[in-house]
Amino acid sequence: MLLTWLVDEARHPAALVYAASRFFVDGRIDQALAAIDRRCRLQPPPEPQHFVLRAECWKRQGRDDWALADLRTALGIAPEDLAANRRMLKWGDPSERFAAAGILFARDADDFLHVAAHELYRQGCRQRAILVDRDRLLGRILGREEAIPVVMLSSEGQAPTTVEAGKPVRLGADLCVWHFVAPWPSGAAFVDLDVRIGPDPLLRQRLFAKNMLQPALFRRMDQVDIEGGAQKDVRLNVLVPVYEDAEATRNCLVSLLPELDTVPGARLLIVNDASPNPAIRQLLGELNGRVGVKILENTINLGFVGSVNRGLAHCCHGDVLLLNADTVLPGGALASLMRAAKVDASVGTLTPLSNNGEFTSFPRPNTVNAMPDLEELSALSAAAGAANKGILVDLPNGIGFCLYLTRACLESVGGLKSSLERGYLEDVDLCLRAAQAGFRNVCAADVFVAHQGSRSFGAEKRALVMRNLPTIERNFPRYREECATFMALDPLGQARRRIEERLSVPRPVHFVVTGTGMFAAIATGRARAIRQRSPGSAVIILTVAERAGETHFALADSDEGVPQNLDFAAPQGKVCEALLDRLRAMTPAGAEIVDPGHCPQWLAEALGALGPIDVTIVDPAIILRGDQRAAFWLDRLPQARRIRTTRIGIAHLPAHIAGLPQLEVIGRERPPAPSPGGADGLGILVFGGTAEELQLVRAIAREGLRHLFLPRLVVLGETLRDMSLFALGNVVVSGRFVEDEFPRLLDLHRIAGLFLGTRRLIADHPTLDLALASGLPLARFRSKGEDMRDDDLALDAQASEEEVAVALARWTAALGLATTLPSPVDALSDQARHVE
């Protein structure tokens, strides 16, 4: 069955993990590493345990740096992953070991608990207390043997009680760990936990009963009427919990206070969650007594849920805006949100657009975009308001950085649940309960709010999300599917585009014109070079693609700024006036055309009228075809400011072009060939993931199978159909990689030579640069003017696949590569047969 799964696209990822695990247990580390490395490069996204297994393989091979890098990746995904933290406790630097020890002291079993406690002690932590299980009030205390911890519990309407810590577990060096456990007090809505050693508090926390909701609190506050009826005139409560980051909090409040005056009946409710920061306390002191501002002081840290719910208990009338203290509001934001909330009575929650708003992020969705300054925020707000006036777009859930809750929704679903760990996904839970009650979660696409992000909980964020996500998915089984559908359909895409149409790029703009596939990778490298050469300028990549009888044009800032969503189309051969209008509206400083074959003549002429033109000739065939386009470029090239091409390109250019003074020869000097060192694989580099590349590689592999004369074949990268190559049995495909991983792949797969798997002439491509920098012998389809080393193989571009395979076999034999060793796929197949 495993053998079948390995070549089944849907089951392939799971089969790789299973095979890697079996190889590892059997001590076959090379095969384990090959399998798990591929899994780490595939979709669905790899999980922490995949990186941990790869790290363990690297460690066994003495690759300590690579092993640590994988552990860091695993902890970036799930900071509390026990397997990753256990290894980090052994392998990491002092700060990493200390962080891992803290996690393991809180969450691991006794074996690693002792090791973690010793690490904390060695690094100066003499005392620590942690709550392990909130439902049973189970905790651990670290301290010196002579210290006696005191655990106090108190709850509403009940006398404080002392919980006796258990018998200390001695760890040596006067170090002990105590365990304490207590049942949840019967009927208590909350419990205050206070752990001390001597006079020093180690842990003070208020815990709310599991799944406690807020309607009862609303009713209680209505009955008490603590504000003497004044709340009845309140239309909007802006609720801001504060704890740390005084600078971000001040920026938030400075932007918010003027907004209160623009909305009749608006008030600000600040909940200070027992902040230890004196700058926070000073800031709140400046606001104390201000009209329209109420400050609630928590005597004990309640966490995010407790602070919000306490604030909600003071919001008996009017809507509520939950606002993070690391946001900045533009003028008119409160009024716009209130107006949007009244458009439809079914609206329960509203979220604005933001630079950092997950689903509502702009310009790139589900991404942390750069925080705009005040001038940029004002422009974004104005553009959103004008472009998307009155537009609401339904979301799977609202986002808590700026979450507007209507009174009807609050009265129906209550506040935040206390069953989730503090800080993240409580907003998701509330919104999903609102949807169950028939309310809509919407994005107000005409409002934009800036959000710094992760300022309240910092590095805790990912751990909190990972801890809470299983609860969300258990309570709302369709949530993941709904999110995936939303992201695939991108219903906010048009709203983002309309905003970008109204925004200007207030800097000189360099355009890089390119096609898709391998040319896009070249264009990315050229954009990076232009940014380095012209700091302060914007570099926008203009991608041209032909499909369905139309020419499509997409504009995207190469440094992830605006624009990211602008696209245009025109019938093939026709001028796209909308695109030209947009280009003229910018401040062009020049353009570089990466391969003239993808740039329509009218576009080249228009760009030439706007500024100087540079040309990178990737494939000189475009100007050798003798057609109208070739004639155009032969006439146009002498007018270019710069012409960049390789020695191959120069060899193919007409003399009057090759002799131009602005012609620049590009290319990389190759280092000497490295020592083989047991390497025995032939790496096949793919450049654009095209059908032609796939056909070539597949045909060569089949010829190798027919005559049994090729060594191990390893495709470095990804193809259109990896499984069709795996099914042949003599090819493994590494999967997608980034540039700095290339040496690691060569080492992992023991690559002794590289075959450039495209018949096209290529120049200035990042993958070609990697191949040249490796120093390995190269097999490639040769063109006039190309420099070849004695150990390289020049292939005829017109040769058949069979002729190419024979030439590769002779070349690899001359390099000393064996032709009988099993490929990684053969090894996986052997393992599968053994298991079966």
Q: How far apart are CA 249 and CA 247, in angstroms?
A: 5
Question: Of the ranges 74-78, 133-137, 243-247, 564-568, which one carries the lowest mean pLDDT score?
Answer: 133-137
Average pLDDT over residues 658-670: 87
Mean pLDDT of the chain: 87
The pLDDT of residue 206 is 76
| Tens digits of residue pLDDT in 255-290 | 999 999 999 999 999 999 999 999 999 999 999 889
The pLDDT of residue 459 is 46
Task: Let me know if 628 is exposed, middle or buried by CB neighbors in 10 A (0-12, 13-18, 19+).
Answer: exposed
Task: Let me know if 373 is exposed, middle or buried by CB neighbors in 10 A (0-12, 13-18, 19+).
Answer: exposed
Give the Cα-Cα-Cα angle 531, 537, 540 (nearest 5 degrees): 75
Q: How far apart are CA 706 and CA 656, in angstroms?
A: 49
DSSP letters, 306-334, are: HHHHHHHTT--SSEEEEE-TTEEPPTTHH
pLDDT at 228 over 50: no
Give φ, ψ of 190 to 5 degrees. -150, 165
Average pLDDT over residues 481-510: 95
| Tens digits of residue pLDDT in 436-466 | 999 999 999 999 999 998 654 444 555 556 6
- C-beta separation of 664 from 592 below 8 A: no
**Model confidence, pTM:** 0.84
What percent of the chain shows pLDDT beyond 70?
Answer: 90
Q: How far apart are CA 152 and CA 182, in angstroms?
A: 10
Distances (CA, A) of 7 to 40, 722, 726, 727, 752: 17, 9, 6, 6, 26
Measured in Å, how far apart are the chain's first and last C-alpha atoms? 7
- C-beta separation of 513 from 607 below 8 A: yes
Q: If you search the block for the tokens 């392998």, which residue do you land on?
A: 91
Q: How far apart are CA 242 and CA 246, in angstroms?
A: 9
Give φ, ψ of 293 to 5 degrees. -125, 130
Average pLDDT over residues 382-401: 97
What percent of the chain shows pLDDT beyond 90?
Answer: 59
Give the Cα-Cα-Cα angle 18, 20, 22 (nearest 5 degrees): 70
Q: How far apart are CA 788 and CA 780, in angstroms?
A: 10
Average pLDDT over residues 166-189: 82
| Range with top average pLDDT, 246-260, 288-302, 655-669, 716-730 | 246-260
Q: How far apart are CA 89 and CA 427, in angstroms?
A: 34
- C-beta separation of 404 from 427 below 8 A: no
Fill in the amino acid letter for 178.
W
The pLDDT of residue 4 is 74
Q: Give the residue with greater pLDDT, 754 vs 650.
A: 754
DSSP H or E stretch at residue 269: strand 266-272
- Sign, CA torsion 713/715/721/722: positive
pLDDT at 188 over 90: no
Residue 561 CB coordination number (10 Å): 18
Spell out the residues 6+ positions from residue 416 whose beta carbon is closer than 8 angstroms to its own: 214, 304, 305, 308, 309, 312, 426, 427, 429, 430
Confidence of residue 609 (pLDDT cuts 50, 70, 90): very high
The pLDDT of residue 101 is 93
| Range with top average pLDDT, 67-71, 701-705, 805-809 | 67-71
